Structure 1
């Protein structure tokens, strides 16, 4: 392959390559909630949620160890993973915004084990953290899925190039 075969100009800067490539990679949107050591609710919007195994049911998410929610995730064993649909776009923005405002309001209740459960999500799953793998300044968190529930069906909420989007069904 020659440089003429490439669809776009190249760069030798790994950070630029990384950012530009992942801006073009759409991802589903989830929110992970927990409680910190004082019992304060914490949570964050995640686009790194992935299934790891069906038996036993394991999922992973990644987060920076400098994130405001990291101390809670580092200390607790219990989380709730919320899958967001199109109708949850404002919730995704709220949970990605200032930490002090994430739980202001009546959009959540105490869920199983007292972990914050967000209202109106497409699906939710309790999880027990079974491993935290530090990788540079981040961590891969492995969660064993427990109980959960599904909400009203909705199109997936996608995040792509710093915007929330809806999927387009191509099979119809």
Structure 2
């Protein structure tokens, strides 16, 4: 089934206005983590997480095509989507910068496949890297959830260009 359509927007489309409109939609905040072949870890902050299917259990997230970590996440078989709690804005900021090794300053444990799970998250999803789809200036990753857990903490959200914790 072909689901693509011809380009819908005009050439005069205002990208800055579009970005401002998108900022009015509150999103959850995640840190996607993975383990490299040499045993080191990588992670990045993403607010593009969403559920896709219950059967099979699928979720998605996206990453910009210019991101340095794109080859890492495209090539690895597994990753963990860590849903941040309301008090973890510092982790969202830490993993959104290009620091040498944020894992040297955060608490984590290892998943069944050896991926880092950040401690204190409200939920996490260990995923098999099922498929990737280039769309526009991003790649959409679809992960098949192999294991998940949740603590039920109040989540961290991103709205209007700011991190905010929801009350529980």
Give the TM-score band, short-chain normalised.
0.7 to 0.9
Deviations along 1:114-139, one digit per CA (max 9) or x if unpaired, are: 11111111111110011010123310
Q: Which runs of 5+ in 2 are unaligned?
A: 1-11
Shift of 1:83: 0.9
Show CA shifts across 1:31-75 (max 9, x none): 110123433211111100000001111000010122132121111
Over aligned residues, Cα RMSD in angstroms?
A: 1.8
**Counterpart for residue 107 of structure 1:** 107
Q: Does residue 62 of the first structure (1) align with residue 58 of the second (2)?
A: no
Residues 68 and 99 in structure 1, CA contact (< 8 A), matched pair in contact too: no
Task: State the Cα distance separating 1:102 from its structure 2 match.
Answer: 2.1
Instruction: Give the deviation of 1:110 after TM superposition.
Output: 2.8
Matches for 1:30-45 after TM superposition, within 5 Å: 30-45=30-45
Hey, what's the Cα distance between the residues in 2 that align with 1:133 and 1:39? 27
1:80, distance to aligned residue in structure 2 (A): 0.6
Contact persistence 2:86–2:166 (CA under 8 A): no
Within 5 Å, which residues of 2 pair with 1:76-95? 76-95=76-95
**Aligned residues of 1:37 and 1:75 also touching (Cα < 8 A):** no
Task: Note if contact 1:35-1:72 (Cα within 8 Å) is conserved in structure 2.
Answer: no
Compute the displacement of 1:168 (Å): 6.1
For 2:17, the equivalent position in structure 1 comes to: 17
Looking at structure 1, the residues matched to 35 and 135 of structure 2 have their Cα atoms a distance apart, in angstroms, of 23
Give the structure with higher Rg (CA).
Answer: 1
Output the TM-score relative to the length of structure 1. 0.83
In the alignment, does 2:121 pair up with 1:121?
Answer: yes
- Give the gaps of 5 or more residues in structure 1: 1-11
Structure 2 length-normalised TM: 0.85
Could you report, residue by residue, the CA deviation over 1:86-110 in whole angstroms, capped at 9, with x for unpaired residues?
0212111111122414222242233
- Determine the structure 1 residue equivalent to 2:164: 165
